[in-house]
Amino acid sequence: MHASDITPRAVYEDRRSLLRGAAAAGLGALMPAGLLAQSARPGVLAALEARKSTVPGALSVDKPTRYQDASTYNNFYEFGTDKADPARNAHTLKTTPWAVEVGGLVKKPATFGLEDLLKLSPMEERVYRLRCVEGWSMVIPWVGYSLAELIKRVEPLGSAKYLEFVSLADPKTMPFVGSRTLDWPYAEGLRLDEARHPLTLLAFGMYGEILPKQNGAPVRIVVPWKYGFKSAKSIVKIRFTENQPGTAWNKAAANEYGFYSNVNPSVDHPRWSQATERRIGEDGLFDKRRKTLMFNGYEAEVGQLYAGMDLQKFY
């Protein structure tokens, strides 16, 4: 038995409050009774109805990682630096009420409540590979829709070139906010064309259910061709800018974490090779290493975004 087969007590105890919170936030409208009974879902949190995506490249044929592994082996530094810390500590996160402020260089700045975001576009299920800079990977069925749908609503100005994503930083509910590990709040960024790409996902769930708190509830970004830290969690602000925004890991160690952070096996991290990766849960304690794919296997879909760029320099 894997240690990850055991649901953390905090997750189990928080289940009922999450279900109540989901209903209060408007998620209840997306939880048909028949869907809740489907055994393919883990049955831990409230279900989310979603259609299969038709976006090219959005449905990986790789076997999904077990929910237990995907929800207990996480990077979320607001709740600790050990991979098991978020599942142990994130039960303190308050996800209702929740709002995302969208502004900067746009014609129609707005603050969207979670229920507004949920109604913005039909939900899709997308099975994406997730590759982390530390050398491990997962395959996760996410639920959400293209971030481009939100971008259309606010109408970026011609001067907008980048998006900045800001995560919640609440020391009362996120015990490691204020630590010296990073500059808080956690911030990430994308070029506007990257953010508009149909594969860039505004995610509200995974495995057919709402996001666990340790995975970035209630709303996060998923950018499948970039290293996992580019996919900001628990987002409260999106800002359109003319200049490249500062990002958490780039500010912490610019020589190790570039702004683009595309999965590129030919560019090593200064302290380890990126040529291979280990798929979590694939072979237990003896997970084999596999060759890392350029752009995490999404080269056909996104390679044109970087035509002519020196990807050794813009790492």
Neighbours of 5 (CB within 10 A): 11
Instruction: Please report, as a single letter, which amino acid is at residue 156.
Output: P
Q: Is residue 23 part of a domain?
A: yes
Whether the CB-CB separation of 102 and 88 falls below 8 Å is answered with: no
DSSP-derived 3-state class of residue 115: helix
In this predicted model, what pLDDT tens digit does every residue of 49-83 receive, in sequence order?
999 999 999 999 999 999 999 999 999 999 999 99
Its pTM stands at 0.88
The band of 1, judged by pLDDT with boundaries at 50, 70 and 90, is very low
Q: Is residue 313 part of a domain?
A: no
User: Strand 209-210 vs strand 201-206: parallel, antiparallel, or unpaired?
Assistant: antiparallel
Q: Is residue 99 part of a domain?
A: yes
Rounded CA gap, 311 and 98, in Å?
37
Helix runs in 61-168, H state only: 67-70, 85-89, 114-118, 148-154
In the predicted structure, residue 20 carries a pLDDT above the cut 60: no
In this predicted model, what pLDDT tens digit does every residue of 182-216 receive, in sequence order?
999 999 999 999 999 999 999 999 999 999 999 99
Whether the CB-CB separation of 79 and 175 falls below 8 Å is answered with: yes
Output the 3-class SS for 185-215: CCEEEEEHHHHHCCCCEEEEEECCEECCHHH
Structural domains in the chain (count)? 1
Q: Is residue 315 part of a domain?
A: no
The per-residue pLDDT for 283 is 74
Give the tokens for residue 171: 């020391």
Q: What is the CATH number of the domain that holds 283?
A: 3.90.420.10
CA angle (147, 148, 154) in 5-degree steps: 100
Rounded CA gap, 6 and 55, in Å?
35
The per-residue pLDDT for 284 is 64
Tell me the pLDDT of the chain averaged across its residues: 89
Q: Give me Rg for the CA atoms of the chain.
A: 18
Rounded CA gap, 34 and 32, in Å?
5
Which residue from 128, 126, 100, 127 is spatially nearest to 115, judged by alpha carbons? 100
Q: Is residue 312 part of a domain?
A: no
Q: What residues pair up with 276 in beta bridges, in sequence order?
A: 291
Q: Is residue 262 part of a domain?
A: yes
Q: Is residue 314 part of a domain?
A: no
Kindly report the backbone phi and psi dihedral angles of residue 149, in degrees, each rounded to the nearest multiple of 5, phi listed first.
-65, -40
Q: What residues pair up with 226 in beta bridges, in sequence order?
A: 262
Q: Which domain holds residue 181?
A: 3-306
Half-sphere exposure of 173 (CA within 13 A, CB side): 13
For the chain, the first-to-last Cα distance in angstroms comes to 39
DSSP-derived 3-state class of residue 181: coil
In the predicted structure, residue 19 carries a pLDDT above the cut 80: no
- Distances, alpha carbon 86 to alpha carbons 91, 100, 157, 174, 186, in Å: 9, 22, 38, 10, 15
Structure letter (DSSP) for residue 262: B
Q: What residues pair up with 239 in beta bridges, in sequence order?
A: 103, 164
